[in-house]
Amino acid sequence: MKWKTGLALATAAMAAVAAMTAAKADDYPSDTVRVVVPWRAGGGTDTIARALAASMEKIAGKAVVVDNLTAGGGNAGHVHVKNAKPDGLTMLLNGSSDLNTPIIFRNVPYALEDYACVGAVYQTPTWVLAHKDQGFTDFNDFVEKAKTEPGKLTVGVGSLISAHYVLAKALLGKNGIDARIIPFDGGGPLKKAILGNQVTIGVIHAPVLLDAVKKGDINVIAAGGSLENITYKKVRDTKTVDQFKTPVEIGVVRGLFVPKSTPQEVIDQAAGLVEKAATSDDFKKFGAKFGFAPIWWDGKKFCDFLQKENKEYREIKAEFIDKK
């Protein structure tokens, strides 16, 4: 009798433990979530990651930390998430083109296939800027001037491995213009060159230089994609590049990734948390400050976009960059 009671108790205890474990699996996140950003603290992607992490933390009730793994030009961050435990607690936050361009243009130790998409929270196009002294109101003005002075005008881009460069090459190629592309050492130096009117036009991520645009020092002459989410209304109807013979969409969609081997169930749980955070009021308030309203795309939409972007960039590369 006694041992039967014992057995019953033990069984009950085991069942209870099992139930608790099951409850724990539902209770995502079970531990601190690490959001890996392959960029230095202070940049656009990092700012978004920190705001999102703050919202996620509030909703999850567990710590969500941003980890800037920048070594090797961001390679360390990508590889870290690629090899992370597939428990949904380590995620990569990066922009679509920031992930695609190194994969396409460089020899990097990771590929799109190494990641599963959780969802996207920000979509910002690149935009083409010109100092007001250039007197351009849209990209066609630049095209006309470039045709009269072949090889003279300059297009500044933030780096050779970027959406900026891809768009600059595509725009020049599709419009048949001979202008020189000048790569800078990142967005900061390019900003200075555009403000100082040292390059004829510059291609950079929106909303960089928005303050100067608002002041009227800088004109937005084309956008790599829709500017409908920008908070500054006056530039929302800027002509997109498809109106300048360049039917592509070039910008950056920032979202979260987990290792490929992560079970779909875990991805869904993580996506649930990120969606709540991305659509929270706090994150929307951040959007007002950032200059763009946040979005929410689920993992499938985000992954499809990445594939499409990858294909488009490869086409531009084959058509305008490789041949030379």
Given the rule CB under 8 A, which residues bind other proteins?
Answer: 40-43, 67-76, 79, 105-109, 151-152, 154, 159-161, 180, 182-185, 188-189, 191-192, 195-196, 198
Least distance from other proteins to the Cβ atom of residue 90, Å: 14
> 286 vs 296, which CB is nearer to other proteins?
286
Name 116's bridge partners.
258
Burial of 215 (0-12, 13-18, 19+ CB in 10 A): exposed
Q: Could you tell me whether strands 201-205 and 115-131 are parallel, antiparallel, or unpaired per DSSP bridges?
A: antiparallel
> 56 vs 104, which CB is nearer to other proteins?
104
Please check whether residue 305 is in contact with residue 96, taking contact to mean a CB–CB distance below 8 angstroms: yes
Least distance from other proteins to the Cβ atom of residue 91, Å: 16
3-state SS string over 160-194?
CCCHHHHHHHHHHHHHCCCCEEEECCCHHHHHHHH
> 72 vs 247, which CB is nearer to other proteins?
72
Least distance from other proteins to the Cβ atom of residue 301, Å: 30
> 38 vs 95, which CB is nearer to other proteins?
38
Least distance from other proteins to the Cβ atom of residue 208, Å: 12
> 135 vs 188, which CB is nearer to other proteins?
188
Neighbours of 57 (CB within 10 A): 17
Least distance from other proteins to the Cβ atom of residue 72, Å: 4
Max CA separation in the chain (angstroms): 102
Residues 6+ apart with CB under 8 A from 225: 123, 125, 126, 240, 249, 250, 251
Least distance from other proteins to the Cβ atom of residue 189, Å: 7
> 155 vs 258, which CB is nearer to other proteins?
155
- Cα distance between residue 55 and residue 50, in whole Å: 9
Name 108's bridge partners.
none
